Amino acid sequence: MTQQLSDLPPLLQARVERFLERFRESAPEELGLWLDACLGDADFSEQLFRVWAGSEFVANTCVRHPEVFRELVESGDLECDDHESTPYQRCLEAVAQDAETPSEREATLHRQLRRFRRYQMLRIVWRDLAGVNTDAEQKMLATTREMSLLADAVIVVARDKLHRWLCESWGTPTSALSGVEQHLLVLGMGKLGAWELNVSSDIDLIFAYPESGETTGVAKTRSNQEFFTRLAQKLIQALDNTTVDGQVFRVDMRLRPYGGSGALALSFDAMEEYYQNQGRDWERYAMVKSRVIGVPGSDRDPAADNLERILRAFTYRRYTDFSVIQSLRDMKAMINLEVQRRGLSNNIKLGHGGIREVEFIAQAFQLVWGGRDQRFQQRELRAILRLLDEEQSLPDGAGAGLWQAYVFLRNLEHVLQGWRDEQTQELPGDDGDSDGAADRARVAFMMGYSGWDACIAALENYRDRVKGHFQALVADDEAEQENGNKEAQSADASVQLPQLEAAWLNNDVSEFVAALTALDFDDPGPAADRLHILGSSQKVLTMPVETRARLDRLMPQLILACAGVENSTEALARVLQLVESVARRSAYLVLLIENTQALQQLVTLCAASPWISQS
């Protein structure tokens, strides 16, 4: 849907007129005359009214820095797509001039980076809102790509300058084994890692260095840990600190090993030890999109390949890993609680049918299949959704439908964030005042709709689509029980799962006997004793918390399944022998929890022959 300047709602027209008045009042006369001349061009005037109506950030930046605005317009940068290396080269040029004294260098670098970011953000938001790309998908992809390239550029340029300066005073970090100089690797997480950064996003980073050792070339040496921790602190300050020139990017380090209490930088060995021994399921989801940030166009750093190899071994299991479905349920449950607590139902990222649910669907399939099929190890969401359609992993065409919804949601997110260059995913409220009405009119207009009601109707259609697919993927236990093992449940409809759950958790023989008798087990006493022995075993008592929780979920379903065969006690004994042998490999437990047909087939085979449990 295309719009003309005449379509601009009166409330937005009035806003732009006020910005123009402020520009003419505050800018030098020469620049005021320049802008009036530019407005004589119909295409430029159309773009300016549209962009200034859609972004208070852009309008205010143009008013406060008219010389920057003029430079941007006359440079032709508004019409040009950035080549992959362009932001990096321009950032190098922007920070090329160092301060005269070492004490002033970092403050100068901070100022240079923030002014570079201001120019680039003005350009990116202008192009996004002006409709330079009229195709919704291409517009979203262009904006997220350019934001990611900008983040890469400032990270690498700032890191390399700060590394060089720190070496002058602390020495050069060197490997204790090889004597090779060491460098800090920056791991971009989430949307940054997948080249999908939005227009006002923070950046999630993790810092690592290849090998332990100490600095050389100075009288007082430092460990590599000390050096890279200090370098990480300086890099965060260069990007995150708010000065009179603003901020470059908000930096979030909470995804690093041990979270906020962990070291800012770890060696590869320490990283590998943490993820293999203490890494949690949510960290595997976070690692799906991770990427070592490097200089564009340069040769690939072998150390980057080594780090990504270590992380892939943690992220993707060699077996088909159904445990991720339960992890996804747990994460979404926590998000839902936060949405309720903070009243975020209008949040298009975290709310039902939002951006996060589309990402979760793709990441779940990546973690399930990625260890066996490297095609699922791609970072970009679009590639994974296409793959899901190719493999028919979702209902016909669902991947394409989810991508269409995702494009709409991300473009809407850019409209919301581009207004004030703020990280928000909240829809404007209905407060009954003129500002609220103008905000809703702005969002609808920028999204190509004639009014708020039409925009919201389209949004709800997309959210319902996403919500439906997400709920189908993470169907909870009640849904599984309704549609699952009806044969086992028919043994005695009066016996409910909570009774079996209580008996298992209490590990009480008398409770087992009562429940098994009600289920018409052929010999409840020995069956109860066998369950009690398993529940009391060291293998079960010393299980990791997460694995034990999965076993606790499986056991009531397993007992019900055994109740449905003729030799129920014998079948239970055989199945328990198999469960005990694989109990610490939680992926197998989850496979049986998630797939009631697989559980029933296992019970049927064990009832028919002892061979399956002994092999």
Output the domain CATH number for residue 302: 3.30.460.10
> Looking at the structure, do residues 92 and 220 belong to the same domain, yes or no?
yes
**What total of structural domains would you count in the chain?**
3
Report the 10 Å Cβ neighbour count for 180.
13
Output the domain CATH number for residue 528: 1.20.120.1510
Name residues of the chain where pLDDT drops below 50: 1-4, 477-495, 612-613, 615
> In this predicted structure, what is the pLDDT of residue 480?
42
Packing angle of the helix pair 545-563, 323-342 (nearest 10 deg): 110
134 CA to centre of own chain: 27
> Looking at the structure, do residues 195 and 169 belong to the same domain, yes or no?
yes
> In this predicted structure, what is the pLDDT of residue 45?
95
Give the contacts of 191 (CB within 8 A, at least 6 positions apart): 144, 148, 197, 198, 201, 289
> Looking at the structure, do residues 541 and 562 belong to the same domain, yes or no?
yes
> Looking at the structure, do residues 309 and 362 belong to the same domain, yes or no?
no
Query: Residue 31, class by beta-carbon neighbours within 10 Å (0-12 exposed, 13-18 middle, 19+ buried)?
Result: middle
Last residue of a domain, one of 446, 474, 502: 474
- Nearest partner of 379 among 147, 205, 194, judged by Cα: 194
Cα distance between residue 109 and residue 105, in whole Å: 6
> In this predicted structure, what is the pLDDT of residue 496?
62
Cα distance between residue 148 and residue 289, in whole Å: 13
> Looking at the structure, do residues 309 and 223 belong to the same domain, yes or no?
yes
> In this predicted structure, what is the pLDDT of residue 610?
64
> Looking at the structure, do residues 160 and 285 belong to the same domain, yes or no?
yes
Residue 139 lies in a domain: yes
Residue 201 lies in a domain: yes
Cα distance between residue 204 and residue 20, in whole Å: 37
Domain that holds residue 358: 323-474
Which two structure tokens, joined as six digits, stand for 585? 């490999």
> Looking at the structure, do residues 292 and 380 belong to the same domain, yes or no?
no
Residue 192 lies in a domain: yes
Last residue of a domain, one of 441, 474, 507: 474
> In this predicted structure, what is the pLDDT of residue 343?
79
Residue 40 lies in a domain: no
- Nearest partner of 13 among 3, 1, 2, judged by Cα: 3
Are 322 and 371 contacting, i.e. CB atoms less than 8 angstroms apart? no
> Looking at the structure, do residues 517 and 606 belong to the same domain, yes or no?
yes
Residue 20 lies in a domain: no
> Looking at the structure, do residues 505 and 445 belong to the same domain, yes or no?
no
pLDDT digits (tens, 9 = 90+) for 473-530: 876 543 444 444 444 344 343 446 788 888 999 999 999 999 999 888 999 999 999 9
Sign of CA dihedral 15, 17, 20, 22: negative
Last residue of a domain, one of 415, 449, 474: 474
378 CA to centre of own chain: 14
> Looking at the structure, do residues 344 and 271 belong to the same domain, yes or no?
no
Are 47 and 122 contacting, i.e. CB atoms less than 8 angstroms apart? no
